[in-house]
Amino acid sequence: MPSNEHARDPYLPPATQPVRGVVWAIHLAVPLAGLWLLLAYPDRLNIRWEHPPSHFLLIVAVAGVNVALGALISQAATRRGDARLLLVSLVFLSSAGFFLLHGLATPTVILDQGSYGFDIGQPVGLTVAAVLAFVSSLPLGERAAAAVLARGDLMRAALVVVLVAWAWASLVEGLTPLSAQPPQGGATIGVVSWIGAALYALSAVMMFRIHRRRPSAMLVSLVTAYALLGEAMVAGFYRPNWLMSWWEWHLLLTLAFVFVAYSAYIQFRREGSSQGLFDSVALAATVRRIQAQYDEALEELVGHLRRMGESGTGSKAPIATRLAGKFRLNEGQAAVLDRAGQALAAERELSTRLGALVDVGRQARVGLREEAMVAGALERVREAYGDVRIGLVSNGRVAVGSREFTVDDFKETEPITGGGAVVHPLTVKGVLAGALEVPVGTTRQDEALAATLASQLSIALENARLYRELETLFRQYMSPDVAASLLADPDQAALGGSLVELTALFADLKGFTSFSERVAPGEIVEMLNRYHAAAVPCVLRHGGTIVQFVGDALLALFNAPATQEMHAAQAARAALAMQEAAEEIAAGNPGYPRFRIGINTGMALVGNIGSPELRGFNAMGDAVNVAARLEGMAEPGTVVIGATTREQIGEGATVRSLGALSLKGKEQSVEAFVLTALA
């Protein structure tokens, strides 16, 4: 025969679930099949066996078990503040109470003969329990659950009053019809039994749906108990008393209660505590609250363990003992909680350190200076690694805290251990550039993590110095946008380009040639540098990219290579700002030439132009050529814009029309405007 070990394990592989479902269905179908056989063959199978003492002892024993279950569930309901557990406890208490009254009314025990109370006591109790079972299986909302809990004591008291009143009416002869002798064959509650059976069936189905979401042995036992109670109501419909069909519903009640009791016992043996026996039956909100409490307790333990690890002092016993008392854990469970806390603390520490490594890698980005990188990395890694220190090489020596090292101290880049810390070298292109001091770790991952951190910091340090060199060499020869784009994607340096809409700005100095003829070359350079020093920030501040300087002229692009909204308006603002800055320079230097600026918007081919040996970033197209021609038509100190630029700027521009101009190289005339102000 196959082992029945899996029958006690609620957490089975998915492959075993269909088998368990079939076995469970067979267990529920067998009693109904047995009832059918008893009714189909009354003479041979449905025999009469009247033995009041056996009946009384059976009921008293089962009712006692059921009362104990109801009390346990009621205690869990009070402890958890859960409405479903309260209702389930009332299911067991009401069915147990009426079952006990049925036993007390057994003929020849207290009464000399049977009574209505004896016959219908248990069906009535099962019907009351069926209503409670149905309500308990509903997905009670927050308000409904609160209303049930608020009336918990009232419902318990009402149940006690009903049971006492039923006992008095059934056991005191001549007091009420319940103590009178029933008709021949016994009494039933008729169609109400079928209503109760239907309620139990619905309750079992809805509880099974909860089990599908939260699999547990206790929910399975409760589903089975509800189903068996429903079958007991069906079996109890068939009379007369003392026949095998009558005894069957007693057996079904016994199986229902004992099944739940057995499941609770197995879970108690497994966990060693009654604290969470019925938590799986609780409402979803209660389960979430319980889980939050467990998470909070575990976090408290983890925090305590981490603080112990940082300080190196303290005992974990007080916190573990307090949590064990709070959640009523036995010694084994407290030990498991302790190990789980240590494992989670180690995992959190590992995650924190890995996160610090990632953050250090992020700091190794374009434009971050070495000092800022080191300061930021030091602040971040100290959160994860403790008292970390970083020192950089200066005059062939590196100081880390109170310790000082030379290049020769690090042979083959091996770390140096001592003083409760490990010192790892930081290298740039294989040459010692600094040192990292990390406290000695306590786990086997600490050494590897510290080495990885040193490697990551070395890369970040090398990148910071490389970008500083690029800042000095690369960026001074091109726009920051172009430099950043090339650093992020070197493939952009390939020859070729793409067609985009842009706004081109041409500017040069009117009268530069005559000025150059009458002054010394040094003064020419000084004048150009002063003008360009004022003009370049105006372009960059408005998102433009300066493509080239040609003597006294410059070309700037807007919306290329970086995408830019309202690029025509930005180019116009940059041009007006350039003229304002140039006027201030010219006012203090009589005889200086003046800027003239031309702007035009349109499609152009933007990309790298040249040869494999030497190339430059530029733009080509009619829109750029027209901007150059407009600049040539402009008067000193003015800004001339094309019609497309004027249209994209909108109503905020103050312009003076120049009409349709005939430009060199253009067959058709071009409408132009002098821009004087921009809102």
pLDDT at 653: 93
d(Cα 237, Cα 529) in Å, to the nearest integer? 109
Decide if pLDDT at 311 tops 60: no
Decide if pLDDT at 663 tops 60: yes
Residue with the bigger pLDDT between 2 and 150: it is: 150
How many of the other CB atoms lie within 10 Å of CB of 425? Answer: 24
Residue with the bigger pLDDT between 298 and 61: it is: 61
**What radius of gyration, in Å, describes the C-alpha atoms of the chain?**
45
pLDDT tens per residue across span 357-397:
777 777 666 556 777 777 777 777 777 777 888 888 888 78
Decide if pLDDT at 667 tops 70: yes
Burial of 230 (0-12, 13-18, 19+ CB in 10 A): buried
pLDDT at 527: 94
Residue with the bigger pLDDT between 270 and 387: it is: 387
pLDDT at 639: 97
Q: Which residues pair with 164 in a beta bridge?
A: none
Please give the C-alpha separations between residue 124 and each of 194, 196, 237, 562, 658, in angstroms, as whole numbers.
12, 9, 12, 82, 104
* Confidence band, pLDDT 50/70/90 cuts, at residue 6: very low
pLDDT at 328: 56
pLDDT tens per residue across span 325-352:
555 555 555 565 666 666 666 676 777 7
Q: Which residues pair with 558 in a beta bridge?
A: 503
d(Cα 165, Cα 152) in Å, to the nearest integer? 20
* Confidence band, pLDDT 50/70/90 cuts, at residue 438: confident
* Confidence band, pLDDT 50/70/90 cuts, at residue 86: confident
Mean predicted lDDT score pLDDT of the chain: 77
Tell me what the mean pLDDT of segment 629-646 comes to.
Answer: 96
* Amino acid, single-letter form, for residue 651: E
Q: Which residues pair with 400 in a beta bridge?
A: 403
Across 109-113, 148-152, 490-494, the highest mean pLDDT is recorded for 148-152
pLDDT at 542: 92
- Write the DSSP assignment of 525-579 as a string of letters: HHHHHHHHHHHHHHHHHTT-EEEEEETTEEEEEESSSS--TTHHHHHHHHHHHHH
- Name the residue among 505, 629, 633 with its Cα closest to residue 577: 505
- Name the residue among 336, 328, 322 with its Cα closest to residue 279: 328
Q: Is the peptide bond before 240 cis (omega within 30 degrees of 0)?
A: yes
d(Cα 70, Cα 98) in Å, to the nearest integer? 13
